[in-house]
Amino acid sequence: MDQKSLKENLENYLSTQNESITRVSGLNEINMGWETELFTFKAVHNELEEDLVLRIFSGERAGSKASKEYYLMRRLDEVGYPVPHIYHIDAIGDVIGKPFLIMERVMGATLDAAFKSTIDEKLQQGIHRLIELLVKLHKLDVSQFDGLLNLSTLSISDILSRYQKACEKNIPWLKPVIEWLSEHQPEDAEEYLALCHNDYHGMNVMLNQQNQAFVIDWGASIICDSRIDLAWTILLYTTIGGAMYRAPLIEIYSELGGKVDDLTFFEVLAATRRIVDLGSVVFGTGTYGLKPDVLNLMRERREHFMKVHDFLETRTGIRLKEYDTLLASF
């Protein structure tokens, strides 16, 4: 849909939700993620303007993801975890042709932008704030999220089974890694069960003009072992930022009361997830819940995917020649 039609449809929709809204202005696309399209805009209430975000979902499970994110963010807001206020949902796609959410726009910078600095003290403060929010999330009582629509509770075996199926269907050369994970798999433990963001990093933490933090992008969230969440954050920062991030991420998480036992297995699980992401897009059916242009976005991150392979090899001793060949073709 072109932006003119999108603007008109938004105006018509919002006016039916709130008759004081007279028009939409300043519609602007922000191409940040692999799964959703993001637009910022202003809803004009007579002479007043409200800054909002339109989040559009793609793929065969788009409606389910939109519904999960909507109801989860509402519940997080209710229990006092810092998320933007969320206002509207179309889980069917009647309004603009795809499911969407409309939420408060946090006017400011991402946490990553705030702490990326040559000043060590500022960097340490940023990492501390990042991990403080993650530990706070993992300490929430998971019973507060019982029965939320499309929010899954997954065991370690459930997640490993997903990767096993992806390996059998599209990525047979991943088998040595699946076998390593099966051999080293720990037992599920109740003490680690937590609400997990499942894509937690500083680009998903917004700071407003009063320096208050808000966590965004809850579409991948699950209830699972908290170490899965931490390991994903470690993978992203060590492969995009540098190996120097690993130790402080773990140390601060532990100092704030998070549990960090047996992280190696979960780091390998995280690397496997990233390889499965790529393999499912390249060799899969194209309905992985990602945006149509995601392969081009992945090509732009080729170096990251190469470092994921190094990350995996360091922890397992496994080098996948087919994966190297795939990345060389990018």
Note whether 91 and 156 are same-domain residues: no
| Per-residue model confidence (pLDDT) at position 33 | 60
Q: Which of 86, 105, 124 is the last residue of a domain?
A: 105
What span, in angstroms and rounded, lies between the C-alpha atoms of 171 and 199?
23
* pLDDT value at residue 287: 44
Is residue 275 within 8 Å of 165, Cβ to Cβ?
no
- Are β-strands 36-45 and 48-57 bridged in parallel, bridged antiparallel, or unpaired? antiparallel
317 lies in the same domain as 198: yes
Query: Encoding tokens for residue 144?
Result: 């507060």
Predicted local confidence at residue 182, as pLDDT: 98
Q: Are 52 and 104 in contact (CB under 8 A)?
A: yes
161 shares a domain with 269: yes
Residues 85 and 204 in one domain: no
Q: Is 61 exposed, middle or buried (0-12, 13-18, 19+ CB in 10 A)?
A: middle
Contact in structure between 188 and 26 (CB atoms under 8 Å): no
- Is the same domain home to 46 and 150? no
Assess whether 125 and 226 both reside in one domain: yes
State the CATH number of the domain containing residue 262: 3.90.1200.10
Count how many domains the chain has.
2
The answer to whether residues 30 and 73 belong to one domain is yes
What averages of pLDDT result for each successive group of 10 residues across the chain (330 residues)?
91 91 91 78 90 91 94 98 97 95 95 73 88 98 96 98 95 97 96 97 95 95 98 97 93 95 96 94 63 75 95 98 92
Domain holding 87: CATH number? 3.30.200.20
pLDDT digits (tens, 9 = 90+) for 259-276: 999 999 999 999 999 999
Query: Are residues 193 and 210 both part of a single domain?
Result: yes
Q: What is the pLDDT of residue 34?
A: 63
Q: Which residues span the domain enclosing 24?
A: 3-105
What does the alpha-carbon distance between residue 81 and residue 74 come to, in Å, rounded to a whole number?
Answer: 10
State the pairing for strand pair 213-215/108-110. Answer: unpaired
Domain boundary among 105, 126, 158: 105
Residues 89 and 130 in one domain: no
pTM of the model: 0.93
Same domain, 32 and 178: no
Do residue 22 and residue 72 come from a single domain?
yes
- List the end-to-end C-alpha distance of the chain, in Å, as a whole number: 30
| Radius of gyration for the chain, computed over Cα atoms and rounded to the nearest angstrom | 20
106: left (phi over 0), alpha (psi -120 to 50) or beta: beta
